[in-house]
Amino acid sequence: MASWVFPEIGMVLDLLDCGYRNSSDRMVIIRCCGPSEFYLERVVFPFELLSFQCPPGSEVEIWTHGLGGPELLETLRAHELALESATPPLAELALEGVQRQENPWLEAS
């Protein structure tokens, strides 16, 4: 998990790793607004996957362009788009001190 430094207020916030897949056949615009003036805006093409980082508590808006102009399709919280953590599962942490047995099937002949 990365961190974001806000020098104007003297804070460091951890960032969430998030992802959004545009499953529609139209281009959309992602707008992410977070605490301390955090802002991210990206264009996502049809069937494209966008990976991004944002502070927890951010709000993500999905916009498209219709006949009458911009249309808000969906509003999500950042944690709804959070990707799986890169930290190891608890089971792996519990077995950290245990020696692993070698598997003879994995050895080259």
pLDDT tens digit at each of 109 positions of the chain: 566 565 655 666 689 999 999 999 999 999 999 987 899 999 999 999 999 999 999 999 999 998 899 999 999 999 999 997 655 444 444 445 545 555 555 555 5
- At 84, phi and psi to the nearest 5? -60, 145
Instruction: State the pLDDT at residue 84.
Output: 77
Domains of the chain: 3-99 (2.60.40)
Beta strands in 1-109 (DSSP E): 3-6, 11-14, 16-21, 28-33, 39-44, 49-54, 59-66, 69-77
Q: Is 86 helix (H, G, I), strand (E, B) or coil?
A: coil
Instruction: State the pLDDT at residue 7.
Output: 60
The partner residues of 29 in beta bridges, in order of sequence, read: 43, 63
Instruction: State the pLDDT at residue 99.
Output: 52
Instruction: State the pLDDT at residue 36.
Output: 79
Instruction: State the pLDDT at residue 35.
Output: 86
